[in-house]
Structure 1
Amino acid sequence: MRITKFVVLLLMSGLSGSLLAQTTAGQIREATLKFLDEFATEQASAGYKVAYESGSIDSRVALAECESPLTVEFSGDPWKSTSPTLQVSCEGNRPWRMFVTASVSIHGPALVATRPLTRGERITADLVTHQPVEINASRRGAITETQEAVGMEVRRSINAGALITPDMLSAPAAVERGDHVIITARSGGFSVSSRGKALASAGIGEQVLVENLRSSRTVKGNVVGPGHVEIPM
């Protein structure tokens, strides 16, 4: 009888141990720090310096044991926030996920204006320069490559030395209101073209209303190049 009870206790003890197997706060923190370290190393190779710290994790956290390495990824854009959220998840038989807020600072060269810029001015290479800044301190992002700005138009005035963010610039109009354009109706490998007049201004990739000069019909098409509007059939 005593032997039977002893065996039962051993079985219950083993079962209890498997049920109590868990992923601890320390393991979660270790996974997030490893992910952030890999992110910092990757950005360093591109010329950016990343400082980071994992957010606090309640030491009482105990989630189901994960059979595979924990998966960590940004749930937001770390280039637009100094406090991005990390999603930590387990993809095993007992899947789970949780979110951890991290502190991330990305320093590197970004474009600033070399002089005051006025609305409507076209950006040329001499109007911008690189300066080291905390790139993700601006929720509006930053422009890091000169070619991303050259040829764009200033949407509103920019002070000398100010960080240039994407929302400050816009693509110049490829079609101006009143311009005569080529309208191409396309379906697969078949296309037919006619002349038209733009009823508004628009950039490449934007939609615009045009008047077909032959039929006087007004249609909406996509601007695919300067003076060219395409209508899918």
Structure 2
Amino acid sequence: MRTQLLVWTILVAAVASPAQAKTTADEIREATTAFLETFATAQASRGYNVTFETGNIDSRLALAPCSADLAIEFTGDPWKSEHPSVQIACAGERPWRMFVTTTVSINGPALVAARPFGRGERVTANMLETRSVVVNASRRGIITDSQMVEGMIVRRPVNAGSVLTPDLLDAPNAVSRGDHVIITARRGAFSVRSRGKALANASVGEQVLIENLGSSRTVKANVTAPGHVEVPM
């Protein structure tokens, strides 16, 4: 799943008066909570349930009053950590910034192993289940679409109930060492085909050495589909 840092601006309802001498711990806590609530609401619209806690803030905190709106953002990716920090910054006449620790739990659907997987197995639909998990408990990411993993090869043993992550699976070989393949030499719209033999294993998108059976030359080609490779002309 591709994740971008979420940046939110929390508007402070009360404008600092001339008599106000500081930004208090309570104000920082309220702003952080409002930021996390906004994040949770946004993820709920996508089918995720977010719970959170704000870390301790020293009650003796006394920052300069802020003449601008407080800007708040995660300093790390909350989708890959259960303890992302939040930065709160003031860009007013007396600028400052501080960090607040948080605990964020994002619960949502993910694919898990319905039974133990053995190394080298090819994944099929009946090997998969969808369960609600803590999505951001894994720094390696999760997989939600079964079509993305069906046909993939298990890289190492997986226990039943384990959350599937991209590093557990490999794309199957589109060509294997010794396979006869079709070589397409292409320049723009013009192309020429010939036959070759793969000298190594490779998946779609990878490069592989191919022996051209007509010329006996060895070329480096890109695998475009099972049994098909392409070289620039």
Does the alignment reach a TM-score above 0.5? yes
Post-superposition CA distance 1:39-74 (Å, at most 9, x none): 2222222322111123445664647946456252x4
The answer to whether the aligner puts 1:159 opposite 2:166 as a matched pair is: no
Identity of paired residues, percent?
61
When normalised by structure 1's length, the TM-score is 0.75
**Equivalences for residues 1-233 of structure 1 within 5 A:** 29-57=29-57, 60=61, 62=63, 65=66, 67=68, 70-72=71-73, 74-88=74-88, 99-232=99-232
Task: Quote the offset at 1:105 in angstroms.
Answer: 0.7
Instruction: State the superposition RMSD in angstroms.
Output: 3.2
Task: Quote the offset at 1:135 in angstroms.
Answer: 2.2
Larger radius of gyration: 1
Unaligned runs of 5+ in 1: 1-16
Task: Quote the offset at 1:160 in angstroms.
Answer: 1.8
Task: Quote the offset at 1:25 in angstroms.
Answer: 5.8
Task: Quote the offset at 1:75 in angstroms.
Answer: 3.9
- Structure-1 separation of matches of 2:229 and 2:92: 51
What secondary structure does 1:80 align onto?
Answer: coil
- Structure-2 separation of matches of 1:78 and 1:193: 49
Q: What residue in structure 1 maps to residue 5 of structure 2?
A: none
Post-superposition CA distance 1:75-121 (Å, at most 9, x none): 43322221123455567899876554421111222222122211111
- Structure-2 separation of matches of 1:50 and 1:211: 55
Post-superposition CA distance 1:158-210 (Å, at most 9, x none): 12222222211111111111111222233333333322221111111222222
Post-superposition CA distance 1:12-45 (Å, at most 9, x none): xxxxx7xx99876655554443332232222222
Contact 1:21 1:65 (8 Å CA) reproduced: no
> Given residue 225 of structure 1, which amino acid in structure 2 is its aligned partner?
A
More displaced 10-residue stretch of structure 1: 47-56 or 123-132: 47-56
Contact 2:66 2:91 (8 Å CA) reproduced: no
What secondary structure does 1:78 align onto?
Answer: coil
What secondary structure does 2:79 align onto?
Answer: helix
More displaced 10-residue stretch of structure 1: 50-59 or 204-213: 50-59
When normalised by structure 2's length, the TM-score is 0.75
More displaced 10-residue stretch of structure 1: 178-187 or 112-121: 178-187
Q: 1:95 to 1:186 in 2, by over 3 A?
A: farther
What secondary structure does 1:79 align onto?
Answer: coil
Unaligned runs of 5+ in 2: 1-17
Q: 1:87 to 1:221 in 2, by over 3 A?
A: farther
- Structure-1 separation of matches of 2:213 and 2:224: 19
